[in-house]
Structure 1
């Protein structure tokens, strides 16, 4: 029997789980490429130091939306694809290994691994597939198919085009600049061969060309002292506004659910602030709907293909 394993990063639902989330995330060698012992030490220090302040941000946005939105996606995809769909998370329960064991117990022999990350990256998809491979070694008779990078799948581009055009029409703004924003990765990842930034730029260009609209690309949510891929969304937006740009629509193209990086980093830190800026006539952000039919169709199509 065939089933789909739908994976996302997870999200903290309490202060203690905030600590667990940070510890697990920075223990991931694809996030923090340090020797094992040093990585574990640094992960514990980061979790201990940052989890109270990080949890305060989650409280400002009413808790993590990721779990609820991913579970809704699972239900819609199971109905549309007419096959069992299981959800697992990288950094909070239920974890990938536990869910794969449950799938095995339920008689699933073929697993299509599908992530909520549209662009492939070592920090996301490679990390997930590594965990899947590790878990599969303990399960006899299981075959795995990894489904990676659907960022320019025609249905996915149609999904984003629909969201953007509906948003612009609803806002009543004339020919805004589209500022595509994606989660940044450290430069050291790019130097190791991670093509994620190029994939994001390629997707943005495809979308802008389809809609025949002006656009820019930036990368957000960088943390720590290391150098990150840029331009930084916060800094680039200020440069655009200072240069006379009056109308901007932010589009979080690397995200498939609302999360801290969309609601806090974009809405609270940018949109809410620039709405009060006399230099601008309009700024808004395209919101990510829960289990939109075109997104579900995208996932169904790439599984069937």
Structure 2
């Protein structure tokens, strides 16, 4: 029998931190109908006419602050994860890495699996919590590309792994590198989404955002809700570390535009905690499996500076899953049993 194909897909990164490459990345990313889910005309007007021209130089400057000699941290760690998984699975598997936006492309990674004569393909979007704009987008693109193949092998997808025990314990292990008792409060800061995208996930129309605790626990109604899965991730990590509910807050960062996004916003939480006299915060970013712009710069630099300006002392980022062998064990389990 042939090898089994494994396709790991992360979000993406510019080919370089230069403005031209950032423009290309942002254009592909933001023109995705699942990322900005409005009409094609309005999306093109917004992205190509406003966001990309004005945001690219600023985003380029930020990427230059985190770019390393070995390249983008997100791509660097993703490549290590793919190689570690290949080494762990052995010659009976062919592991390929792709980025949903830019390079290495999903199309090229699928072609490599095709050239490898794999007997099946399992796709693992590297997003712990399901969202239409991330996992859903990967699934859609893969299915669109495979639909053009004359012969389509058996294909399966991992929908999410927000509650995988090894993922939870890895985040907890990384937090234990610090003196937990020295922090006044813990943040679980997730990447934000427009509220309308959460509402679309509620097929009943009677649960999402109907009360402030709609994401407090997973049910049949919200089991695919990004926010509800995020709250579940935070609850599990907190339980692993013995952190009481009153001592942590789930919040959301990286807003775009003026319409309502998932709340509470991380910036508002920082203001609230500073007003309460909190001085030292420990921050997780459990929507990412590899450190990137949103963790290395947005939390470590921007939020830390903002909190200090409000009277706080420090915001400490907990390292992402990165190249931790325990996370690779989680990926192996998703391959074999997910």
Q: Same fold (TM over 0.5)?
A: yes
Q: Does 1:304 align with 2:336?
A: yes
Name the CA distance, whole Å, in 1 between partners of 2:227 and 2:262. Answer: 8
Q: Does 1:33 align with 2:37?
A: yes
Q: 1:292 pairs with 309, 324, 329, which one?
A: 324
Aligned residue in 1 for 2:123: 113
Q: 2:261 pairs with 228, 241, 254, which one?
A: 228
The answer (yes or no) to whether the contact 2:12–2:103 under 8 Å persists in 1 is: yes
Alpha-carbon deviations, 1:174-219, whole Å to 9, x = none? 3542111100000110111161011101111122122221211110
Cα distance change on mapping 1:146 and 1:289 into 2, 3 Å: closer
Structure 1: tracts of 5 or more residues without a match: none
Aligned residue in 2 for 1:73: 81
TM-score, normalised with respect to structure 2: 0.84
Alpha-carbon deviations, 1:250-276, whole Å to 9, x = none? 1111111111111121011122454x5
Cα offset, 1:112, TM superposition: 0.7
Q: Secondary structure at the match of 2:179?
A: helix
Q: 1:218 pairs with 240, 251, 261, which one?
A: 251
Name the CA distance, whole Å, in 1 between partners of 2:312 and 2:55. Answer: 34
Cα offset, 1:94, TM superposition: 2.2
Cα offset, 1:278, TM superposition: 8.6
Name the CA distance, whole Å, in 2 between partners of 1:97 and 1:109. Answer: 18
Cα offset, 1:41, TM superposition: 3.5
Aligned residue in 2 for 1:131: 141
Q: Secondary structure at the match of 1:16?
A: helix
Cα offset, 1:135, TM superposition: 0.7
Cα distance change on mapping 1:277 and 1:28 into 2, 3 Å: closer
Of the structure 1 ranges 38-47 and 25-34, higher mean CA displacement relative to structure 2 is found in 38-47
Cα offset, 1:152, TM superposition: 0.6
Aligned residue in 1 for 2:289: 256
Aligned residue in 1 for 2:57: 52
Aligned residue in 2 for 1:177: 185
The answer (yes or no) to whether the contact 1:109–1:141 under 8 Å persists in 2 is: no
Name the CA distance, whole Å, in 1 between partners of 2:154 and 2:237. Answer: 35
TM-score, normalised with respect to structure 1: 0.93
The answer (yes or no) to whether the contact 2:282–2:315 under 8 Å persists in 1 is: yes
Name the CA distance, whole Å, in 2 between partners of 1:145 and 1:187. Answer: 29
Aligned residue in 2 for 1:153: 164
Name the CA distance, whole Å, in 2 between partners of 1:167 and 1:148. Answer: 32
